[in-house]
Amino acid sequence: MSIFAVLVTILVWTLVFAVLVWAIDQVPAFAPFKPFIRAILALIVVVLLLSLLFGWVPIPGHFRL
Read out DSSP for 30-45? Answer: GGGGHHHHHHHHHHHH
Q: Which pLDDT score is estimated for 36?
A: 87
Residues ≥6 apart with Cβ < 8 Å to 13:
45, 48, 49, 52
Q: pTM of this prediction?
A: 0.66
Residue 53 has pLDDT above 80, yes or no: no
Percent of the chain with pLDDT over 70: 80
Quick one: pLDDT at residue 57?
Answer: 63
Give the per-residue pLDDT at 63: 47
User: Which residue type, as a one-letter code, is found at position 47?
Assistant: V
